[in-house]
């Protein structure tokens, strides 16, 4: 093909190649600077859409993780209070039971024993009232029908999943009546420690209100003491069962917390597989494209010089 001043095919080819290399170089530089091979929908609309949804799911899982943390603190507070109410040989229901057994002794000063019992009763109520976190208390509840009433159940958010476009929120349901030691606001008391039980022989009292200061060694009074001992023993078993229930909830929350964290890591890895750039490959590609760009500039320069050589024919 002859030389032409109007059309420089070699220069056009070199320029087209240089443009292509520059475009690839810009893409590679963007991947290196962002760390992603799919940073916008224009890069790969399908992968970008999937990754965006997965990031949204991870944000929801992060909220679940925070909720589980708050739930764990709440359950731990109530669990600790229940264990304190059960007590040991020096406190709580365990000490109360021992004092009542001691009160069975003939001729013992039951007035002095009652002073200890009163202190234990007040201390247990204080512990129950103090088991409040974020304005919620499961041990001392309000059973009125008004807006201040304690909800009958609490749903502790424990999981999040999405199938298609349908999200599902999992929760652990806690029934407050199971753990209530004291109740207020209702027409009658129904807590484990403030429910009045008994009969004409054993007497009518709650663990919170029983009093032995006026009892004697008479058979009828001894029968009342037996009834009180049975009542406190039953209360210990009930509170222990409630604590065991909370312990199971506590373990379930801990398990779910670990699972949610692992799931978030898995989702992060999945997103990375879709959109993250392979930095080793991109750095190698960058060096190759920079070399191609330099060669393209030289090729274009040589092609342009061919037109200049035509001038020598007219000298």
Q: What is the pLDDT of residue 308?
A: 67
Task: Say how many C-beta atoms besides its own lie within 10 A of residue 160's C-beta.
Answer: 21
Q: What is the pLDDT of residue 155?
A: 95
Flag whether pLDDT at 205 surpasses 80: yes
**Beta-strand (E) ranges in the chain?**
140-142, 153-163, 166-175, 182-184, 197-199, 203-205
Q: Burial code of 282-306, b = ≥16 C-beta within 10 A, e = fewer?
A: beebbeebeebbeebeebbeebeee
- The dihedral built from the CA positions of residue 149, 153, 159 and 164, taken in this order, carries a sign that is negative
313 pLDDT band, cuts 50/70/90, is low
pTM over 0.85, yes/no: no
Q: In DSSP terms, which residues pair with 88 in a beta bridge?
A: 91
Q: Which residue in this structure is represented by tokens 């600077």?
A: 33
Residue spans of the domains in the chain: they are 9-35+279-314, 72-257
Flag whether pLDDT at 3 surpasses 60: no
164 pLDDT band, cuts 50/70/90, is confident
Q: Which residues 6+ apart lie within 8 Å of 133 measured at CB?
A: 73, 74, 77
Looking at per-residue pLDDT, the higher value among 37 and 172 belongs to 172
292 pLDDT band, cuts 50/70/90, is confident
Lowest mean pLDDT among 28-32, 73-77, 121-125: 28-32
Q: What is the pLDDT of residue 301?
A: 82
What is the overall mean pLDDT for the chain? 90
Flag whether pLDDT at 239 surpasses 60: yes
Q: Which residue in this structure is represented by tokens 């398990």?
A: 255
CA 289 to chain centre: 48
Q: 72-257: which CATH number, 1.10.1200.10, 1.20.1330.10, 3.90.1200.10, 3.20.20.370?
A: 1.20.1330.10
Distance CA 161, CA 168 (A): 5
Flag whether pLDDT at 1 surpasses 80: no
Instruction: For 4-33, write each residue's pLDDT tens digit.
Output: 655 667 778 888 888 888 888 888 888 888
Distance CA 259, CA 232 (A): 40
Nearest to 192 by CA among 153, 239, 131: 239
Q: What is the pLDDT of residue 35?
A: 87
Q: What is the pLDDT of residue 96?
A: 97
């Amino acid at each position: 093909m002859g030389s032409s001043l109007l059309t420089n095919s070699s220069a056009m080819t070199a320029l087209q190649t240089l443009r292509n290399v520059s475009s690839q170089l810009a893409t590679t530089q963007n991947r290196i600077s962002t760390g992603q091979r799919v940073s916008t929908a224009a890069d790969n609309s399908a992968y970008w859409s999937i990754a965006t949804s997965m990031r949204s799911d991870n944000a929801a899982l992060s909220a679940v993780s925070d909720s589980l943390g708050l739930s764990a603190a709440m359950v731990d507070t109530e669990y600790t209070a229940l264990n304190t109410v059960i007590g040991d040989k020096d406190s709580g229901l365990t000490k109360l039971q021992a004092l009542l057994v001691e009160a069975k002794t003939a001729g013992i000063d039951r007035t002095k024993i009652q002073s200890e019992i009163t202190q234990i009763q007040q201390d247990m109520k204080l512990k129950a009232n103090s088991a409040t976190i974020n304005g919620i208390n499961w041990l001392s509840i309000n059973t009125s029908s008004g807006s201040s009433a304690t909800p009958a159940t609490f749903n502790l958010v424990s999981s999040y999943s999405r199938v298609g476009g349908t999200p599902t929120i999992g929760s652990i349901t806690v029934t407050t009546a199971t753990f209530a030691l004291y109740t207020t606001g209702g027409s009658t008391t129904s807590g484990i420690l403030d429910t009045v039980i008994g009969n004409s022989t054993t007497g009518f009292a709650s663990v919170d209100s029983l009093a032995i200061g006026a009892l004697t060694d008479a058979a009828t009074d001894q029968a009342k003491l037996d009834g009180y001992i049975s009542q406190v023993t039953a209360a210990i078993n009930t509170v222990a069962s409630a604590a065991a229930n909370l312990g199971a909830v506590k373990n379930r929350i801990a398990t779910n917390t670990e699972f949610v964290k692992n799931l978030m890591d898995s989702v992060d890895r999945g997103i990375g597989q879709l959109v993250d750039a392979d930095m080793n490959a991109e750095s190698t590609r960058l060096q190759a494209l920079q070399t191609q760009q330099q060669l393209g500039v030289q090729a274009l320069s040589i092609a342009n010089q061919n037109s200049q050589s035509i001038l020598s024919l007219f000298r």
